[in-house]
């Protein structure tokens, strides 16, 4: 059922910094069931760990996304905002492509890249599935999804909103209000 997240966990088994499955797969890992088909998988890694990331994927083709175009990410290059997306390619690996999303943090908190006033304690953002796969907490995943809604984002929200405890709902509600106080998800939170 969770073949792709398990493959990712195997690839990242020896990667020492924190990493988390993000996006729709994180929602499904939280729900412990696959709720919809997934075209890809995103992994969240902290920006501060990008040198370790580049070293870990030595031998892979690494590209950063700049203005919606893929550009080679060179080993000696430090990525700063607004660059936050990296793609790693290796035809002999399983999976052969991994999308990495660089996340902001300080010593104790995850920071929302679109507004650093929105924060979450580092100890609260990482969850682990029963199969041992790290994933990003659903409220942060939904916060990212709330900006440019697609049908799959609405589906993910509807699938998980009733399973969020009161604290997670309140955090998500407050976080969404910062960027869009008229967002229609607020009525369900």
pLDDT tens digits for range 47-58: 999 999 999 999
Is the pTM above the cut of 0.75?
yes
Asked whether residue 179 carries a pLDDT value surpassing 90, the answer given is no
Going from the N-terminus, what domains does the chain have, and what CATH number goes with each? Answer: 3-141 (3.30.460.40)
Per-residue pLDDT tens for 72-98?
A: 999 999 999 999 999 999 999 999 999
Token couple for 5: 């997240």
Query: Is the CB of residue 40 less than 8 Å from the CB of residue 100?
Result: no
The pLDDT tens digits for 116-150 are 999 999 999 999 999 899 999 999 999 999 998 99
1 Cβ neighbours under 8 A, 6+ residues apart: 33, 34
Give pLDDT, residue 110: 98
């Amino acid at each position: 059922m969770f073949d792709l997240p398990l493959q990712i966990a195997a690839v990242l088994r020896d990667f020492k910094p924190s990493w988390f499955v993000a996006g729709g797969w994180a929602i499904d890992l939280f729900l412990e069931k696959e709720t919809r088909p997934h075209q890809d998988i995103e992994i969240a890694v902290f920006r501060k760990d990008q040198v370790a990331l580049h070293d870990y994927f030595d031998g892979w083709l690494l590209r950063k996304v700049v203005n919606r175009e893929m550009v080679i990410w060179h080993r000696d290059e430090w990525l700063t905002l607004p660059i936050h997306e990296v793609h790693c390619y290796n035809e002999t690996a399983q999976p052969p492509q991994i999308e990495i999303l660089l996340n902001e943090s300080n010593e104790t908190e995850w920071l929302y890249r679109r507004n650093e006033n929105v924060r979450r304690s580092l100890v609260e953002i990482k969850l682990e599935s029963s199969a041992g796969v790290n994933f990003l907490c659903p409220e942060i995943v939904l916060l990212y999804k709330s900006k440019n809604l697609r049908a799959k984002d609405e589906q993910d929200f509807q699938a998980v909103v009733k399973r969020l405890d009161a604290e997670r709902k309140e955090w998500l509600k407050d976080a969404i209000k910062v960027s869009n106080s008229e967002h229609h998800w607020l009525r369900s939170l």
